[in-house]
Amino acid sequence: MFFVDLRRLILLLATASSLLTMGYTLYGAYSAERTLLIEQALEKNRAYALKLASSTDAFIANLQQQLRYSASVLSTALPQAELTLGDEVRRLQEQNNSFNSVLILNDEGRVLANAPQQLSLIGTTLKGEGTQLALHTKEPVISPPYLSATGRLLIFISHPIFDGDGNYKGLVGGSIYLHEPNSLNALLGEHFYRDGSYIYVVDQHKRLIFHRDVARIGEVVHGNPAIDAVSQGQSDAIALRNVKGVDMLTGFAPSSDVKWGVVVQSPTKVVLDELTVLLGKVLRNSIPFFVAVQILIWMLAMLIAKPLRQLARQAPHLDSANASSRISQVHAWYFESRQIKLAMLLGLKRVNRKMGVMNVERNTDPLTGLNNRRGMAAVLQQWKETDTPFSVLTVDIDHFKRINDTHGHDIGDLVLSFLADTMRACTRETDLICRVGGEEFCIFLPDQDIDQALQLAERLRILISETNSPAGSPITISIGLAHWPVHAREHSTVLKLADAALYKAKRNGRNRVELCDPIISDEDVKTA
């Protein structure tokens, strides 16, 4: 059989420990930094989405304010010449490129003025979803995205026009074409996409109204947890996989006025690329130090293993005549090797003698020659395996401390031996007598019932009380008695019951035998 020597074992363990420590440290640092970067990216995207949502609300509110002002102007100008109306729609359409087109309609939906002029809609009655919604409600309206008669996806923002008497005269409104350049696209689209991040906006029906891929505008998206959440007015940040299978870190927030949802996404890979580069630098800087440590460990391993290796070579030859001389020549320069060396020298003298008396000492009380607790446990285990019934007597010398105090511990030891000899004389060879501690003993009577055990206990008690002890006068003993399996199902419980009976004998005046209380459950004893 092949065995690894200590030098190689130290080197192997040290190398493995170093590798594991370095690996775990790098892994822990990577995991912690990865979590931090992801959390920061998620929070950054969520905060940016909130900012864009707020900016979008402010932008739409500004458009509504422009239309509100225009409606107040038109409330007196509407009956006048169409030239005045044309000037107003051109002003709204050209002043900040907010609207792709601007219209003024009367209360029946007929176009009174439009900008740009190329639309040529004057006199036309519009039936579009946005205009019909505005005419029907006669209130300021931001329509959901819908397809115009020309097939363009647009949003129509309008404000009603009332005359001085409060009569509804029509509306002024502007269209924002979602596929074409305008101020809304500029607001949402002026961002840096070098790291693969991008923004898109959905309405409350999960339809894309802004996306860097213009072809996707108008698409209704299902199964996207970010869109599902932001459509319900929630603001949060989550990690998800987009429709192209790319892992993304997504932040989203709703706009409170127009019920749109702004979603900001960054590729997870881009966020973690910086961490990978940093980890590589750390690893490259750690390798030279690791190699230097391994060389030092190898040198120390040789130095530490040398005396132990020399002692190990002498181990097979301990029975030789010059074994002690060879072991003495080993230079044991540190504590452990020196102690092993001394132990080997001492072991040569003691090993044979120890082997002969070891078993006896394990199970025997050295003072009385009775079984100790270990010997008792071994015999009880055998009885348990064979279901051998037994009675147990717990015996304690009354006022033993007084004997030690009066006559000294030597006489006390003689009294203990005297009691042990008397118990041997009163019992059978098959009975088990144990000293379990101090002046306390146990007598186990296999296959003897309670009456037989009581007779033995009384005979022993009387004999002790009538016989002079080494103290110069008789002593007395108290005895508790229990039976297995009459009083309990577990051996440990029977011993507790016998102890309880012994204490009862002590309380009732000593120099007496007490039987344990009958019919008590094991559970009651454990909780007593």
Q: Is 225 within the bounds of a domain?
A: no
Question: Which segments of 321-398 are extended strands (E)?
Answer: 390-397
Which of 159, 177, 195 terminates a domain? The answer is 177
Based on the fold, state whether residues 400 and 470 are members of the same structural domain: yes
Let me know whether 378 and 474 are in one domain. yes
Q: Any idea of the CA torsion for 424, 425, 429, 430, to the nearest 10 degrees?
A: -70
Residue 515 lies in a domain: yes
**Burial bucket for residue 179 (CB in 10 Å: 0-12, 13-18, 19+):** middle
Domain of residue 398, CATH code: 3.30.70.270
Structural domain containing residue 381: 373-527
**pLDDT tens over the chain, length 528 residues:** 556 677 777 778 878 888 888 788 888 888 888 888 889 889 999 999 999 889 888 888 899 999 999 998 888 766 555 557 888 888 888 887 788 899 999 989 999 889 888 888 888 888 888 889 999 999 999 888 888 777 778 889 999 999 888 899 999 999 888 888 777 777 777 665 557 788 889 888 888 888 888 888 888 888 889 999 998 889 999 998 887 788 999 999 998 877 889 999 888 888 888 788 888 888 788 888 888 888 888 888 888 888 878 887 877 777 776 777 888 888 888 887 888 888 877 877 675 456 545 666 788 898 999 999 998 998 999 999 999 999 999 999 999 999 999 999 999 999 999 999 999 999 999 999 999 988 999 999 999 999 999 999 999 999 999 999 999 999 999 999 999 999 999 999 999 999 999 999 999 999 999 999 875 545 554 554
Q: Is residue 40 part of a domain?
A: no
In a domain, 285, yes or no: no
Asked, for residue 167, whether it belongs to a domain, the answer is yes
CB atoms within 10 A of CB 294: 15
Left if phi > 0, otherwise alpha if psi is -120 to 50, otherwise beta: which for 446? Answer: beta
Q: What's the structural domain count of the chain? A: 3
User: What count of residues does the chain have?
Assistant: 528
Residues 506, 401 share a domain? yes
Pair 468, 435 in one domain? yes
Domain end position, chosen among 363, 388, 418: 363
CATH code of the domain containing 69: 3.30.450.20
Question: Given CA atoms 428, 429, 430, 434 in this order, what sign does their dihedral have?
Answer: positive
Q: Which amino acid is at 16?
A: A
> Which of 177, 209, 227 is at the close of a domain?
177
Looking at the structure, tell me whether residues 416 and 515 fall in a common domain: yes
For residues 504 and 459, state if they share a domain: yes
Residues 432 and 326 in one domain: no
Q: Which residues pair with 113 in a beta bridge?
A: 104
Does 462 lie in the same domain as 333?
no
**H/E stretch holding 159:** strand 153-162
Residue 126 lies in a domain: yes
- As a whole number of angstroms, the distance between CA 186 and CA 169 comes to 33
